[in-house]
Amino acid sequence: MKRLSIALAAALAIGTAAQAEELSIATGGTGGVYFPYGGGLAEVINRHVDGFTATAEVTGASVENVRLITTFDSDMALALADTVYAAFTGTGQFSETPMPHLRALVSIYPNAVHIVTLQGSGIESIEDLRGKRVSVGAPGSGTEVSARTLLEANGITFDDITPQRLNFNETADALRDGDIDAGFWSVGPPTSSIMNLAATRSIAIVPISPEEIARAIEVEPTFAPYTLRAGTYDGMAEPVLTISTPNVLVVHDEMDEDLAHAITKAIFDHVGELIAIHPAANDTTVQFTLDSTPIPLHPGSLRYFEEIGAEVPASMRP
């Protein structure tokens, strides 16, 4: 991360022209929503935040992304709420490396868990995954975290399947080629890698029952029920019940307050530009942030919400 000098922060505050400071946005693989959404966010910053330019970077997604914030190798990062909360509180895989310096700017959209297989595979429930070759997401990704949590909450461990740690595009290719039986995506629908797969193969999305969802929520309270609409992908004639996890735009607590405020304001003032990049941004609303953010807001972001008269929960105050 390029730490902001006092002079640069002052230049932002008074609108003085200055050489543009470069910001890095940690996203995910090119086959998911993080990368195009991050690209759209970079464009919003480039157009509407004076004195700064931004670039979306391909990464391994959520788990890697929060670590990139910690090491100051990225200025902003997209990450799943369960990963963000575990990192902030020092629980789960972050028990030895807590990250209490993480702060949220906004929550941007919910990630829906997609368990995708090909029609005729015989996989109609998560119980049918036992003994199968299953992509559980890229190493260090939020998809891997969500897959493990969902399965273990319902009595299935990675020892009960043959896990493959593939990114979204690799998972789609492996399904197309018959190298795996099913794959997990935790992503904002619709996502290009599944759309491309559905254009060449007849896919099926495995539903998650209300009972299975309830067991998962007991383990991970940031989960919520979500219904994938009929027609989301080619051949998907009926809605499919699954679970979702909010996505959060996180920064280090050392980010300059005026910069955090400017980015937050630019996102909500120009959300239409994000929607034009990906329909998942339809969920990028003030209310979604206030309902879904699992850690405290950065003071600059908090200032924006107070300026517009939003009622910010106590849990989101630094």
Residue 53 falls inside a structural domain = yes
What's the confidence (pLDDT) of residue 2?
45
Orientation angle between helical segments 6-14 and 257-269, nearest 10 degrees? 40
pLDDT at residue 189, rounded to an integer: 87
Angle at 35 between CA 92 and CA 203, to 5 degrees: 85
Same-domain pairing of 238 and 311: no
* 91 and 184 together in one domain: no
Asked if 4 and 258 count as a contact pair (C-beta separation under 8 A), the reply is no
Token digits of residue 301: 């972001």
Same domain, 86 and 126: no
- Residues 222, 132: one domain? yes
* Weakly modelled stretches of the chain, pLDDT under 50: 1-11, 13-17
Domains: count for the chain: 2
For residue range 46-74, list pLDDT tens digits in order.
Answer: 999 999 999 999 999 999 999 999 999 99
159 and 124 part of one domain: yes
CATH of the domain at 282: 3.40.190.10
Give CA–CA dist 104/122, Å, rounded: 42
Whole-angstrom distance, CA of residue 301 vs CA of residue 307: 10
Rounded-to-integer distance, Cα 38 and Cα 40, Å: 5
Scored b (16 or more CB within 10 A) or e, 38-50 reads: bbbbbbbbeebbe
CA distances, 134 to each of 20, 124, 158, 162, 308 (Å): 45, 14, 9, 6, 46
Structural domain span for residue 279? 6-109+248-316
Please, what's the largest Cα pairwise distance for the chain?
63
Of the candidates 68, 1, 8, which has an alpha carbon nearest to the alpha carbon of residue 34? 68
Give the pLDDT of residue 3: 46
Residues in the chain, total: 318
Residues 282 and 231 occupy one common structural domain: no
d(CA 263, CA 286): 14
The answer to whether the CB of 66 falls within 8 A of the CB of 56 is no
Residue 91, pLDDT score: 93
pLDDT for res 129: 98
Residue 155 region by backbone torsions, left for phi larger than 0, else alpha for psi between -120 and 50, else beta: left
Residues 161 and 132 both lie in one domain: yes
Handedness of CA 293, 297, 298, 304 (dihedral sign): positive
Residue 191 token pair: 């996502």
Question: Are 188 and 280 members of one domain?
Answer: no
CA dihedral 281, 305, 287, 56 (to 10 degrees): 20
Residue 191 sits in the same domain as residue 292: no
Task: From 201, 224, 245, give the residue that closes a domain.
Answer: 245
CA distance 202 to 119: 6
Domain boundary among 201, 222, 245: 245
pLDDT digits (tens, 9 = 90+) for 115-164: 999 999 999 999 999 999 999 999 988 899 899 999 999 999 999 999 99
- Structural domain includes residue 87: yes
Beta-ladder partners of 225: 243
Domain boundary at 194, 220, 245, which?
245
Kindly state whether residue 263 falls inside one of the protein's structural domains. yes
pLDDT for the residue 18: 53
1 lies in some domain: no
Cα pseudo-dihedral 161, 162, 165, 166, rounded to 10: -100
Residue 140: per-residue pLDDT: 81
